[in-house]
Chains A and B, each alone.
Chain A
Amino acid sequence: MALPPLDSPQWQSPWRAFAWGLRSITQTILTVVLFVTYLGIGALAHDTHFSLIWALCSTLFVWAGPAQIILITTLGSGATIVQSAIAVTVSAIRLFPMVVSVLPLMRTPKTKRRELIFAAHLTAVTLWVECHRFLPQVPRERRIAFVHGLGCGLVSVCLTANTVGYFLAANLTQTLGAAILLLTPLSFLFSTARNSREVADVVALTLGILLYPLAAKMNSGLDILVSGTVAGTIAYGVHWWREVRA
């Protein structure tokens, strides 16, 4: 499927632009990655005793995979609400630069801020990547409608995956249930590693994994925050040191 040329009459209706956005989810491997990831999140929610509606609401209203597994894992292992909220807040800061960089792609001089609220809500790493790929092929005045379509398509895929994963975890044999749960760490590890372009990202990922078991031994209840802050700060130090030397 190729998008119509920029001057095609097909772009005259915002609804058509929405439909083109919706259909674009079939044009990317990231849709498959998302499906697998949210299959795992559904299964994880089931095995940590959250309800199906809870899992679906987290996908609809949080709409950020990393934040969702941090929330499920910390709450599921007995962290307090405040501890979970801090860990989620820190993980969500990355949405800020994403929104800042993606909204100007959709804005026209006449665009009002409230017209961008839903697009801001839909912004997460997959949409951010796909906007940079697709939007140059979409006329500027139809981009918001296109992004709404693309985002709604991706959310629907993830809600479906959550439901399937939840019921699979409830009904499969123990081994297959374990296989579904293993999807979450594998898909997050490799998709984060793939997005790591700078040395600091690689150091943060590697040290974050290696330091967690050490931090967990301290049994402070803040394990994730301790290992994350230490590993992230060391990674930043490496970045800073390379900048100074360069």
Chain B
Amino acid sequence: MSLAQAIGDWHALAVLFVAGVVPNQIWRMLGLWFGGGIDEGSELLVWVRAVATAILAGVIAQIVVEPPGALASVPDILRYGAVGAGLVVFLLTRRSIFAGVVTGEVFMLAGKWWLG
């Protein structure tokens, strides 16, 4: 990989700064400046946390439903099955992230191998 390839285009880095870095640092610095007087349990923050969780959930669904790159080579049924199998094991193992991830991965790889 050449240096130019590793850096990519400057436009993408500018977008990263505007849409990624600034929106995150704003909230951290607000927390640093106005930290004292905020009630963590306030109703507004509860709503915001719920919306933020649901947005992340939507992104998780998007990666599985409209998969990028190599993941698109895996049939629908295997992607959904992998998440489902991982979820069942996650719940059965009293919320072990590790067990859930390993199960999902093994399900997908075994399915790929079995389907040929």
* Chain A contacts to B: CB under 8 angstroms: 29, 32-33, 36, 43-44, 46-48, 50-54, 57-58, 61-64, 66-71, 73-77, 81, 84-85, 87-101, 103-104, 113, 116-117, 120-121, 123, 169, 172, 174-175, 177-194, 196, 200-201, 203-213, 215-216, 223-225, 227-233, 235-236, 239-240
How long is the Cα–Cα vector from A85 to B27 in the complex, in angstroms? Answer: 13
The A contact surface, by secondary structure, is helix
CB-contact partner of A95 in B12, B28, B57, B59, under 8 A: B28
10 A-B pairs within 8 Å (CB atoms) are namely A36-B101, A71-B19, A91-B56, A181-B71, A189-B100, A190-B101, A200-B46, A205-B54, A213-B65, A235-B53
CB-contact partner of B19 in A84, A90, A175, under 8 A: A84
Given contacts A54-B13, A175-B112, contact A62 B31 (CB under 8 A): no
* Chain B contacts to A: CB under 8 angstroms: 1, 5-9, 12-13, 15-33, 35, 38, 40, 43, 45-71, 73-74, 79, 82-83, 86-87, 90, 95, 97-98, 100-101, 104-105, 108-109, 112
Residue of A nearest to B106 (CB): A179
Given contacts A54-B13, A175-B112, A228-B58, contact A97 B31 (CB under 8 A): yes
Instruction: State whether A85 touches B19 (Cβ < 8 A).
Output: yes
How long is the Cα–Cα vector from A215 to B43 in the complex, in angstroms? Answer: 26
Instruction: State whether B52 touches A182 (Cβ < 8 A).
Output: no
Instruction: State whether A187 touches B55 (Cβ < 8 A).
Output: no
Instruction: State whether A77 touches B66 (Cβ < 8 A).
Output: yes
Nearest Cβ on chain B to A188's Cβ, whole angstroms: 5
Instruction: State whether B19 touches A75 (Cβ < 8 A).
Output: yes
How long is the Cα–Cα vector from A33 to B5 in the complex, in angstroms? Answer: 29
Instruction: Specify which chain B residues have a CB less than 8 angstroms from the CB of A191 in the assembled complex.
Output: 97
Instruction: Specify which chain B residues have a CB less than 8 angstroms from the CB of A235 in the assembled complex.
Output: 50, 53-54
Instruction: State whether A232 touches B8 (Cβ < 8 A).
Output: no
Instruction: Specify which chain A residues have a CB less than 8 angstroms from the CB of B71 in the assembled complex.
Output: 47, 177-178, 181-182
Instruction: A84-B15, A178-B108, A190-B100 are known; give 18 further A-B pairs, CB within 8 A.
Output: A29-B98, A44-B69, A46-B69, A50-B12, A58-B20, A68-B20, A81-B19, A94-B48, A96-B27, A97-B38, A178-B74, A179-B109, A190-B95, A192-B60, A193-B90, A212-B61, A212-B65, A231-B57
